[in-house]
A and B are shown apart, each in its own frame.
Chain A
């Protein structure tokens, strides 16, 4: 067991091997008392204002450490009790290793600390198949539960179902999925349990969607929207996986432009065909090399329009600096170019957006339902 002390000699973290839940609970309580300060000694009490329980399922220690940093950074805005769970089902011995820590921040404008607890659990052996039974006792009662599943979905849905049963909001990152069909599976499970679903990968498209929406609205290419001749979506190369972000963007684009999603067919490598009013629209999904941008993320999109013998073009693309986007519109009456700085798409920012907005996002759910044939075609 290791113990860390703060500057006043208060023990603010704890580590235990092969511990039971009662022990973890007791240590958590101790931690809460320690961070509360000594009222009789005139110390102001630390405010414990957990607004949610955040349950993170991490594949390994590295992902767990990243998640821990994200949650700590979010604490000022979204103070929560975090449970970070790393399951190791392949190990023989069934046991739980735990470490606890309190993250305390000085509250702006106040002479008080805001403290949140973080529990990291390494669960090995058969217990790893019953994570639900370990997580539930450690949740703060009656606060919303956000589950953040950081990796690919498991082939077997049992744990996902159990977690959806206790979660109010289930956040995944489809960029980590090996099969984008898992997004549809996730949606179905979440719907059964009345649990809201969010996807960080879709959240990363927010700026791209906003830009396309703005430039294809009134005053832009609004009149051309139903005359797309072809589309090209480029994304950074990734090994073997379905280009989740590109497909999600395409699904959004198809709904936005009124294309028939159930008409999607695969036509050779990297090519899909969709229809609008019997007209075929070829879409090219092209992996490219691009420095400084994570694998699978969008690099550029290009929409070619044709109407009454005239042509137009909208291109939205990263230019050097990964956060600098160039939007170029070519219309018969001239060319316009605009440079826009978009928001970072790191996990902290996109998770913050997820938590800031209403968890139930009917538009996203409708999109997932509509996109099912497209996802199916893209897998082919």
Chain B
């Protein structure tokens, strides 16, 4: 469907199902249709698959890339892919893994678009080794607020490139990009699972694994006392064909079928309390202790464990949930400990908590990653939570850290400015690209961007 549903609005939210707004959604199949939409858009924002948790892709008017998802060319020698921004990571995996190519960076779900991945400059379990998504974009085309198309890359119109990458859709709509894919020999990962008794141990384990391609830790934020920070560290490398299970060696690039379940109902709110969260965390810890050691697994459960359950966000009940992710610079591990302790003694119980060590950040003003530890937490939404998160913002900001915008629905403008010191440079660039205020999300308004 092209352009617009004749002014019709629907209830729209991010993946966290909070907040929800009435929004009009337009779609476009080519550049001229997009230009027409932008002409009458006044404070709207691009939207991919809506996997940002909060209000990054929310506005009264959103322009969806749903119909703008063509793969334009692929060079099987260099691994360069030219594709439109609505193409998803799931599309790439389906088409290119069987040919021996893998996306350079994948998030914890494959249902994100290339546009969303670039606009949030997403990171994967390989950030310490390969940097963020933007580092693998060789060039992109952006349509700015006035309908002009700008060709840019890290070498050419670098200012525009750096505002598009990590710019959360505020610099304009990314039309298409050239992405460097990476060669793989199989559709499998050699995985290693290790249990770490406390925070010091897991920090050391990350340092020890600096040479391993993929690494991430699940951390039990409810464990207290000398168990504070107990973790399960999961590391991995793309497997070589001779490492695969015998039956898979004949076709190393084939993906074994995975089952997809649907989360059957919205979890009643009373089931989401500290007790269930503690049970969940202990269970997860036990299950993983049984899988300890080395194994070779298909790439899907390794990278996208939650994609196996359709609509898993409904597990968090009618209130929805909040994701909270921050990063602290290297050397600020004491602040990290402080935050974990603060959470473990609070009334808000996080379910899934993920720890990862980032490598150096990039020059893009609004990109999230910087060298240090990042922690991502899922909280069921309840009133007491907001106070706790404000406190965590404070600690994070004071120690030179920042909060990830594509997971955020509540950060204050004040803390935002503290955390992203280059916000003014970004705003200046944005005034040039979008003098009439065509682009705005609920988030950008809240943050005073």
> Is B a genuine binding partner of A?
no
A residues lining the B interface (CB < 8 Å): none
